Structure 1
């Protein structure tokens, strides 16, 4: 066979192998979301690609048949066509026997390099850069080849299915999109600068609603401002002036005897009408409203459901002994979702200091600490929701000032305790040797 004919045949085989490589990588990398959008717009080729992705077995069988046949033919043609020319050229500097051996090796390396670069790496890179467009270009010819080689496809697929069942492998891939996939995409977008870091945090917070307990967003018991049923007008005026809120809990004798709540707007209207501010007085209409009471084991997602069903935006949280542990509002839940986009610096529960350390409130939720410190695994996870709970579990007692807990190179030191409540914790990164 003449050199020109051999080179033309080798070029044809490389082009064929490049087609199969591009068809394979583009079909595997094509994004279903984009293909679905194109199919909805009426693109028949996008619909064909989606159909192949749903059942890709025959398609990839044809790809492998084509690639292997072309590789074998390329080796045969290349060895017979190029070896004599390499041997003749090398015959000027070595013996005929050595020239023949090195000529074969040179022919093998040349054909291999051409197939690797032109038939594999280049088409695969093209397929990764624009997989949807390339998949739609190649799906037509590939479906025609699939129909032409149907007997061989049926044979090889039967053998593959039997072996897959023997090994316990799934017959079809799982295309379900989980929240982990969405978070990975948003993180990649944030790294690329397409998604703002604050927007990515909001998306993460939305998915955390299913795991965060209401205790991580509530106003704790000792911070709840409430009114007693027997409070006189002067005391009500003083308390409202000192601690202005939109809603006030009303109790009978103590915070655990909850009667309901009063709206600050109702109190203000009574003040404007110069009516007495007496909680027992109902002459001006029902002042005390029925309050929503929920258990402390609810997640924030379940809390949103409770608010929607009850048409309320304020709730009292109680524990298993019916003792009040705090209150929560719809605004508290939404502030958890929005994170730093709505919280001022003074309201942040964990603040980074200039020296790289962190100062955190005891009620800082564990997910916030996880993001700030990069700690993925927490010991005895599920037994606590906040930093204070973590310290209690690790120390097996109520934390005191100067108590220290070490975790993955971070030093948690209690710096302030207020009536058995962990108020402030200093978190410092320590060298590995010191840890």
Structure 2
């Protein structure tokens, strides 16, 4: 049997070896693929080894488990000899019976060895591996791959058995490293919480991700606000309307807005005016073909159509062929930029105090959710705006003072204009407690 000094030396070596296994396990598992690729681009070839281990983790973690269990067994064999003699002498000095002294010495020695291993070979190394995973992984991947080569036969056996168990249980053999929109949003939120991203910048990132889910109706100009001409309008009426509503383009319709013939560019009207030519929408080549898009398209899809058609303006129609509104590329960009451009326009969401908001009825649901810190609203697939939420919830056209309570908030209709909900007061039902 080894002496106490030899046992202490063996314990120290086992602790160091176990710490290496713990740091290797935690650091490789926690290393971020994006950070490793950045290190590889900077010329550190060890990052490639870590990436290979993450792609094929079987051998690596098999070595770790074999090593940790072997260390635990050896620690149990030599642990008692490391501290038991000294503790036994102390118990004898305290005049305990020999049998009792040996029993107490064994228990105390076991607790001391266990405590040392928990602290120095488990908690502390894993804390280090979690704090700086990429840096630690670069240093431990080499020794661990060497151990995998040394114990290759044993590793091969256990790996095949593990693969078989994973197949039987239907578990994946590799981890999924695909970055999802939720991952990007979580990273952006973490950056905003840490102060790395300003709130408007964080909102821009969220809005860009939401381009794939927001439909065009959330950013359009509704039909009631679309300035349009009829093909038979007189020059006097056209001049008056341009003077009252200056825009770069105008829809041209026949009879009503639901019969769109195309659009006219204000620059072409100005050119005719400067050339002293009469302004008639029936003039050849003046009315141009307009891009028509369905109201179920997302903002990213309408951007793709803009790019394909080389247009920056489109008319939105529903399944019945009726005009719902119009959308321009500027509307999409304003949706993306959020607060960076909203000071130039009337805000749709105005926070009155810590527990109440005055919100425009046409505000898109994603903006409402963000302002109220909600995850979702009921039946969210049936509407795109706050007004739609109230209509679906009430199952009728809301009137003033109508209210809906959901998710800890009260949504009260404040103003209705020709069956259109203009303003909604949102109040937190249970106000937040005041901060001390």
The TM-score by the shorter chain falls in which range?
A: over 0.9
Offset, 1:346? 4.5
In 2, distance between residues paired with 1:355 and 1:86? 63
2:72 is aligned to 71
The worse-fitting range, judged by mean Cα deviation, of 138-147 and 85-94 is 85-94
What is the DSSP-based 3-state SS (H/G/I as helix, E as strand, rest coil) of the residue aligned with 1:209? Answer: helix
1:387 is aligned to 386
Aligned pairs for 1:284-433 within 5 A: 286-344=285-343, 346-354=345-353, 356-431=355-430
1:190 is aligned to 192
What is the DSSP-based 3-state SS (H/G/I as helix, E as strand, rest coil) of the residue aligned with 2:358? Answer: strand
1:250 is aligned to 252
2:262 is aligned to 260
5+ unaligned residues in a row in structure 2: which ranges? 432-436
Offset, 1:124? 1.4
In 2, distance between residues paired with 1:345 and 1:44? 50
What is the DSSP-based 3-state SS (H/G/I as helix, E as strand, rest coil) of the residue aligned with 1:317? Answer: strand
In 1, distance between residues paired with 2:216 and 2:33? 37
Offset, 1:98? 2.5
Q: Which of 155, 158, 176 is matched with 1:156 structurally?
A: 158
1:58 is aligned to 59
Offset, 1:345? 6.5
1:143 is aligned to 145
- TM-score, L = length of structure 2: 0.95
2:239 is aligned to 237
In 2, distance between residues paired with 1:254 and 1:351? 35
In 1, distance between residues paired with 2:363 and 2:373? 15
Q: Deviations over 1:337-383 (max 9, x none)?
A: 11111112642211111353111111111111111112213211211
5+ unaligned residues in a row in structure 1: which ranges? none
Aligned pairs for 1:221-232 within 5 A: 221-232=223-234
Offset, 1:33? 1.4
In 1, distance between residues paired with 2:160 and 2:213? 45
Offset, 1:43? 2.8
The worse-fitting range, judged by mean Cα deviation, of 347-356 and 322-331 is 347-356
The worse-fitting range, judged by mean Cα deviation, of 269-278 and 416-425 is 269-278
In 2, distance between residues paired with 1:418 and 1:47? 64
2:7 is aligned to 6
Offset, 1:99? 2.0
In 1, distance between residues paired with 2:38 and 2:82? 49
The worse-fitting range, judged by mean Cα deviation, of 342-351 and 227-236 is 342-351
1:82 is aligned to 83
Indicate yes or no: 2:179 matched with 1:177.
yes
Offset, 1:402? 1.0
Aligned pair count reads 429
Q: Deviations over 1:211-238 (max 9, x none)?
A: 1111111000111111111211221111
What is the DSSP-based 3-state SS (H/G/I as helix, E as strand, rest coil) of the residue aligned with 1:86? Answer: helix
2:46 is aligned to 45
Aligned pairs for 1:182-221 within 5 A: 182-221=184-223
- TM-score, L = length of structure 1: 0.95
What is the DSSP-based 3-state SS (H/G/I as helix, E as strand, rest coil) of the residue aligned with 2:258? Answer: coil
Q: Deviations over 1:239-260 (max 9, x none)?
A: 1111111111111121111111
In 2, distance between residues paired with 1:298 and 1:308? 15
What is the DSSP-based 3-state SS (H/G/I as helix, E as strand, rest coil) of the residue aligned with 2:158? Answer: helix
Q: 1:312 to 1:381 in 2, by over 3 A?
A: same
What is the DSSP-based 3-state SS (H/G/I as helix, E as strand, rest coil) of the residue aligned with 1:431? Answer: coil
Question: Root-mean-square deviation (CA), in Å?
Answer: 1.5
Contact 2:3 2:81 (8 Å CA) reproduced: no
What is the DSSP-based 3-state SS (H/G/I as helix, E as strand, rest coil) of the residue aligned with 1:257? Answer: strand
Contact 2:15 2:120 (8 Å CA) reproduced: yes
Contact 2:26 2:129 (8 Å CA) reproduced: yes
